[in-house]
Structure 1
């Protein structure tokens, strides 16, 4: 590491639909001195064409393998559905391209391991698009943790809960294409942020349970569009308990649909010297025999997707390790995989 590369970096987009046009492509467009988008690919030619026209991209493909043949492409964003993360990522790495792959890293841990192995074999950067890591709230709490203000982190509760938020579009309700429901879709974000706070200790065992109580029923209110109950094959609620090598524990809850007062997207951190919660952002300490609730003020909000892209570009330019490494992305995927396995088998899963 340490060898700088020339700019602008040539960017290719594999999968040019929603997340590509809403997050990745605007992110790259924000840094014209660092990069330029030179090609897009999508199996739907109309989607690919629309993305290219919107961002003034010269090359349009319906097969990503043709995109990978372009010498001017140095790096790619893989913005395909979950079941199409692995192969384009491996193919891109083996074609000599750096990769920013959308979350979750993969459908399951085995796929994730194959992707990590390809990155190590080729020596190319592989960053997982867990943009919440770059948000103002997450960065603020992490600064306090790194300064020792929370002491030893021994417990965390992560929640990504929607009251009525089953997606009415895409493949979010199809297990064979998505890998799971809310846990792998929105739960992965809060799980990654929580692991980041805890310092990524090694998970040693996982227990979990999943429930499908609403998705297969007719007439359930859909605040994010209406889905087809007949094709709903994922959970609508999941819960897991993770034990770590350092004796810390983490509980995660995630739902598309649950009878709660309101949506919750939060993590609670307990440490020996203080605690924290993400939303609303607060810290809790005891000083001078006084209990303190601390509310940070005057923080500058950032575009986390844009910051994620910038971190990826900086890792390429400066030949440094990505801020969200493939190993960290794999850890979250292994935990999610183990929760699903535990739910299916009714047994605790021991991780190697």
Structure 2
């Protein structure tokens, strides 16, 4: 396979602004063959913009009539599993946008199907590809932080409720900031911790701001049909004894417009990831280390590059279905705990 034939499922912003341009700018040979969306006019418009030859109103029809090697799944969360599974069964490698799915059972079936079909399945956790994460990973693998026993995860916006798409529709998305932006920082923490198995999860969600009209740094949102949380708070204990605390918010009364941060604490050192800073005790003093230079990169582009390379050369994606399943378990457990008022044990 010298050229990767790609189909796009979903013609919204993440497809037209991120996936398609990234495929076209890939260091490898990619041909975007087709695009499908239930709003076929939207798919036609994107196809015209990028000269995509085939347009469909159904991804099932697309998979049946066009020969593809890989697909990007860029539809609302509710449809991630069914679209990904259909594509895998049609013989395609799959890059599915985060989160993996709506339920643990769906994520399990996605992983099982990928294994049975012998195809690549990976998820759109593009923060993984940023140099801060790579550098921190190198420190950790060199033993500079020792055993990481605690992590803090923040994905908090002051007034960053999306006024577009279906991000505030629980039925289509499964939740709000936790399942949208919180999963990115949760993934980074778990990746750097070695993706430990969760043991007990406790969660709480709040809806205090989004259901009322107010100031939006991302423009107006549909407050009358706002069905997701403003904020989610969670604590996770892992089977290896480590702990993680998480806060994710679309809207919170805090100083900064947005904070996307992961903090790690080990018995030999600690780290903040964005921006990267290492904390250690050395030579009878306390040391803070900051890189003098961190290159600026496009995480989405690197994600697409790696997916294409894995498809063409048979390599294992950086983000695996097994890791996606752990993410799904934790996210769903936080929501379940918030609903029941009880800790969720695995």
Normalised by the length of structure 2, the TM-score is 0.97
**Matching residue of 1:311:** 306
Moved more, 65-74 or 177-186: 65-74
Instruction: Determine if the alignment matches structure 1 residue 229 to structure 2 residue 223.
Output: yes
Tell me by how many angstroms 1:71 deviates: 5.0
Q: Is this contact kept in 2: 1:8–1:32, CA < 8 A?
A: no
- Match for residue 56 of structure 2? 61
Give, in whole Å, the separation in 1 of the partners of 2:255 and 2:93. 43
1:31 deviates by 2.2
Give, in angstroms, the shift of residue 72 of structure 1: 3.1
Alpha-carbon offset, residue 33 of structure 1? 3.8
Using a 3 Å threshold, how does the CA distance of structure 1 residues 273 and 92 change in structure 2: closer, same or farther? same
Aligned equivalent of 2:342: 347
CA distance in structure 2 between the partners assigned to 1:200 and 1:321 by the alignment:
16
The reply on whether 1:241 has 2:240 as its aligned counterpart is no
| 8 Å contact kept, 2:27–2:305 | no
From 239, 249, 252, give the equivalent of 1:258: 252
Deviation for aligned residue 1:74: 0.5
Q: Distance in 2 between matches of 1:71 and 1:186?
A: 33
In the alignment, the residues of structure 2 paired with residue 228 and residue 27 of structure 1 have an alpha-carbon distance, to the nearest angstrom, of 31
Instruction: Please point out which of 139, 142, 145 is paired with 1:147.
Output: 142
Q: Deviation per CA, 1:223-274, whole angstroms, max 9, x where unpaired?
A: 1121222211111011000011110000010001111001211011001111
Instruction: Give runs of aligned pairs for residues 331-342 of structure 1, distance below 5 A.
Output: 331-342=326-337
- Of 173-182 and 314-323, more deviation after overlay is shown by 314-323
Classify 1:202/1:16 alpha carbon distance in 2 versus 1 (closer, same or farther; 3 Å).
same
- The 5 Å alignment of 1:24-103 reads 24-31=19-26, 33-70=28-65, 72-103=67-98
What secondary structure is seen at the aligned counterpart in 2 of 1:87?
helix
SS for the counterpart of 1:69 is helix
Give SS of 1:127's match. Answer: strand
Aligned with 2:212: secondary structure?
Answer: coil
User: Which runs of 4 or more aligned residues in structure 1 lie more than 4 Å from their structure 2 counterparts after TM superposition?
Assistant: none
- Separation in 1, partners of 2:67, 2:86: 16
Tell me, yes or no, if the aligned pair for 2:59 and 2:83 is still in contact at 8 Å: yes
SS in 1 for 2:34: strand
User: In the TM superposition, what is the alpha-carbon distance from 1:30 to its structure 2 partner?
Assistant: 1.2
Decide whether the 8 Å contact of 1:174 with 1:233 is kept in 2: yes
CA drift of 1:51 comes to 1.5
**SS of equivalent to 1:26:** helix
Shift of 1:216: 1.3
Partner of 2:211: 216
Q: Distance in 2 between matches of 1:334 and 1:7?
A: 37
Alignment of 1:157-168 (within 5 A): 157-168=152-163
RMSD of aligned Cα (Å): 1.2
Which residue of structure 2 lines up, in the alignment, with residue 175 of structure 1?
Answer: 170
For 1:235 and 1:59, the matched residues in 2 are separated by 38
Note the residue ranges of structure 2 that are not aligned, 5 or more in a row: none
Query: 125-134 vs 136-145, which deviates more?
Result: 136-145
Shift of 1:41: 0.9
How many residues align structurally? 345
Could you say which residue in structure 2 is the equivalent of 1:3?
none
2:102 is matched with: 107
Please give the secondary structure, in 2, of the residue aligned with 1:85.
helix
Task: Tell me the equivalent position of 2:2.
Answer: 7
- Cα offset, 1:69, TM superposition: 2.1
Q: In 2, distance between residues paired with 1:330 and 1:287? A: 38
TM-score (norm 1): 0.95
